[in-house]
Amino acid sequence: MARPTKPKTLKPKAVEAEAGASGAPAAGGGGLDLKFLILIVAIILSSVLGSAATLYFLGPMVIVPAVVSQLPAGEGHAQAEGEHGAEGEHGAAGAHQSVVGMNLDLDEFTANLKPDPRVGGNQFIRTKLSLTVKVPEAEDCHHETPEAGAAEGGHGGGGGHGGGGAAPAEDACQTGFNKKMGRFVPTVRDIINTALMKRTAANLGTIEGQEALKDEIIQEINVLINGSGYQITRVNFADFIVQR
């Protein structure tokens, strides 16, 4: 008579499920390692960031010129012309401004200087100067209007006729300027003499002293001619001799 076999013990399915969830994947399973996933994500991010950096640096040098070259003629330069339009207008407007101005030559000045106790005796100054005057554009003899330039160009083939007509016109302009400023000259000379006599020889022997003298002359004369349309911009010394 055969011995009865011992019945097998069967595990509940719930127990098997818990064991599968808590344990490592079964041998030969298809699960992905966490480190492997992190490596894949890092590679993808590096590729994306690298592409963005390449686009950032190469875009202005390669992509933009390539796109502009495909545009119809004229459109590619429209923006550049717009950016420089204001500058061009400013330059054209600035060309009408008198840069040098007119010169008013004054006769020689001889004035006694303020006594200097350290030097003793009398000191005096002998100087010759001119004033640079900013005038309205219409009265600027050195400013060439477009009409005058065109007229000169039109008579250029005439040789001496074209060149000979410019000098009398400039002389007449200078004469008119001297006549208008002439009414101020007596007071201008008094202002300059007074400014000279307030200085000492030692003071006028320095650059700072001479610049201060120029500033005072400019300020005082501009107060005198205020409202005339003229403005003194510089004082130019041709001779400047201080006798100690």
- Return the higher-pLDDT residue of 124 and 158: 124
Residue 230 has pLDDT above 90, yes or no: yes
- Return the higher-pLDDT residue of 187 and 174: 187
- 55 vs 61: CA distance, rounded Å: 10
* E strands present in 123-214: 124-134
Mean pLDDT of the chain: 72
- Return the higher-pLDDT residue of 113 and 9: 113
Least confident of 92-106, 136-150, 211-225: 92-106
Which pLDDT score, from 0 to 100, does residue 43 have?
Answer: 76
Q: How far is CA 58 from the centre of its chain?
A: 31
Q: Using alpha carbons only, how large is the chain's radius of gyration in Å?
A: 46
- Tell me the per-residue pLDDT of 75-90, one tens digit each, with 9 for 90 and over: 444 444 444 444 444 3
* E strands present in the chain: 102-105, 109-112, 124-134, 231-243
- Tell me the per-residue pLDDT of 109-136, one tens digit each, with 9 for 90 and over: 999 999 888 877 889 999 999 999 999 9
Measured CA angle at 120 (ends 114, 125), to 5 deg:
40
Ramachandran area for residue 201 (φ above 0: left; ψ -120 to 50: alpha; else beta) = alpha
- Return the higher-pLDDT residue of 216 and 53: 216
- Tell me the per-residue pLDDT of 233-244, one tens digit each, with 9 for 90 and over: 999 999 999 987
Which pLDDT score, from 0 to 100, does residue 177 have?
Answer: 92
